[in-house]
Structure 1
């Protein structure tokens, strides 16, 4: 008797990725013990990215191509999720410049099979960081605080590791936001509120690091605290955008949130516009949390001084 393999749609948004996309596509096609279909949406590339993808598609019927106008990565992934067939078991998301290990999707499907099909579920995993030549340079930290209270203020689910089931896809596309910080953060926020979250310590992805985007930590607590706060506040209006994203989520999902979840969001939003002493009371008992005690100190400090 033949065992039915999990049917997985892989959604890849590409933009000027000619340097690495061929290697990434091949690693997706090489996935083991799953049946995949790769849907690529080119987000208006001006290099050979679309041409490379089309060449793959002529040789492998498991690949479909959408040539689109430039929308940006968030809207491009939302577009992919809307346009893919609804009959797949799972939906995975891919960047254009990584390499997937052959058992990446098999591991995800195995873990997510614990959830009932009617329950929204999301899988994400650790990353193996590499240089441009795929030499390992480190691993992402293993998150300790996972779930809805974390998703409100932090995204720890990197999009290229995410796999969701059909129930999660449905609840996302039927209430698409007018704006979100990032697609992966939005998925994490929605599914952590509505269903099951699975984290895998197995790093199924070789995640290429580009440029000087790794900042070494100083061992001195005060200097590290100062450096992190300065970096955070240096990201423009990120705290305001986090709040805007929470408001958008609440507007779309309030009617199906539990009373406790509504209370958590209302407390966070109310504290955002309150006076100093109300903010002080809030940070002493707030349920929202980031991944590490150190980051939680920073979060509380920023809320207290009115910068978050």
Structure 2
């Protein structure tokens, strides 16, 4: 099984050796390791090149001539991978020895496009923290296309994807088919969007990565929020937020409409279904944005909620809806004339 590892590196000298050593210990060795180094003035490439000379699999180290930034650098690493599957890899974690072997079993089903696993959150010295996987990962089992939360944010380093998703849907931002120009997708968010649209995902409990939190992470564990914090966050989301989400949904629909003509028929059919799904979601979000405008009358708001309700717009997030909490918030905003831009 050909699993490429894509690593986007930036001044990784502090922890890189431990991560590389854990890759070398894999019970199923990778097909290759691709490292794109975004810090040509550091010793990161030297560590990677020394590692390349002592392992039995290819290691390609590409030093960027100019700084790309986290998002673009990761997409570059992914684009250079040649295996049938791609494992996203951060520079500062530690993998369990059986990570690739365990994940590989899930891809026996050809419809599985993405596999994600649990993590163990540790500090800079690999001591386990109180943070736990349950607080940051809510899926378990196998899910059919378009049956998960489309806005879910997963841990990239816990993700392995089928390489073909990058062949079916153009991952590059193009002016004629933007997803959301003001908020470009990260590599892992993009993978979740495409994989959950075109096939199944498999989510397993096994904690296969020591997810190191050391204070300088490019991305890290989100702080746990109680119900009160979540309510406060929901209250401040208004017309601007929902319009932006609507635009993102329309952008996703556009990407799915432009599926490769060379994609297998089942993939093209799923892409068409996903385009319909995201367009409908965009329409619901656009209508919801109108609810929170200061000039919108109570009668008009009530009518909008009624139409959304009848159309099934308040179904659970996992089924393309806005969720029951959205209904409660919208009714409250209508009754009490709440306006939020």
Question: Is this a same-fold pair by TM over 0.5?
Answer: yes
Following superposition of structure 1 onto structure 2, how do residues 222-241 of structure 1 map, counting pairs within 5 Å? 223-229=228-234
Matched-pair contact (CA < 8 Å) for 2:247–2:282? no
Matched-pair contact (CA < 8 Å) for 2:256–2:275? no
Distance 2:324 2:212 in 1: 30
Bigger shift: 22-31 or 72-81?
72-81
The residue number in structure 2 matching 1:64 is: 60
Distance 1:213 1:9 in 2: 25
The structure with more radius of gyration: 2
Of residues 4, 10, 13, the one that matches 1:18 is 13
Following superposition of structure 1 onto structure 2, how do residues 44-123 of structure 1 map, counting pairs within 5 Å? 44-60=39-55, 62-68=58-64, 69-85=66-82, 88-115=83-110, 119=111, 121-123=113-115
Q: Deviations over 1:143-200 (max 9, x none)?
A: 2496535443222x3211111123324224x453346321111111111111121111
Offset of 1:51 from its aligned partner?
A: 2.3
Matched-pair contact (CA < 8 Å) for 2:242–2:285? no
**Residue 292 of structure 2 is aligned to residue 289 of structure 1:** no
The residue number in structure 1 matching 2:286 is: 273
Distance 1:198 1:213 in 2: 21
Between the two proteins, the alignment pairs up a number of residues equal to 287
Q: Which runs of 5+ in 1 are unaligned?
A: 1-5
Of residues 167, 189, 192, the one that matches 1:188 is 192
TM-score (norm 1): 0.79
Partner SS, residue 148 of structure 1: coil
RMSD of the TM alignment (CA)? 3.3
The residue number in structure 2 matching 1:3 is: none
Distance 1:81 1:259, change over 3 A: closer
The residue number in structure 1 matching 2:263 is: none
Following superposition of structure 1 onto structure 2, how do residues 126-275 of structure 1 map, counting pairs within 5 Å? 126-137=118-129, 138-141=131-134, 142-144=137-139, 148-155=146-153, 157-172=154-169, 174-178=170-174, 180-211=184-215, 215-218=223-226, 221=227, 223-229=228-234, 242-254=245-257, 256=268, 257=270, 260-274=273-287, 275=290
Q: Deviations over 1:56-106 (max 9, x none)?
A: 223335311011132222222222222222xx2321110111110010111
The residue number in structure 1 matching 2:296 is: none
Partner SS, residue 6 of structure 2: strand
Distance 1:248 1:18 in 2: 38
Bigger shift: 181-190 or 43-52?
43-52
TM-score (norm 2): 0.72
Q: Which runs of 5+ in 2 are unaligned?
A: 259-267, 292-300, 334-338
Distance 1:258 1:51, change over 3 A: closer
Matched-pair contact (CA < 8 Å) for 1:148–1:192? yes
Q: Deviations over 1:108-152 (max 9, x none)?
A: 10111122xxx4611111121111111112322242496535443
Matched-pair contact (CA < 8 Å) for 1:41–1:76? yes
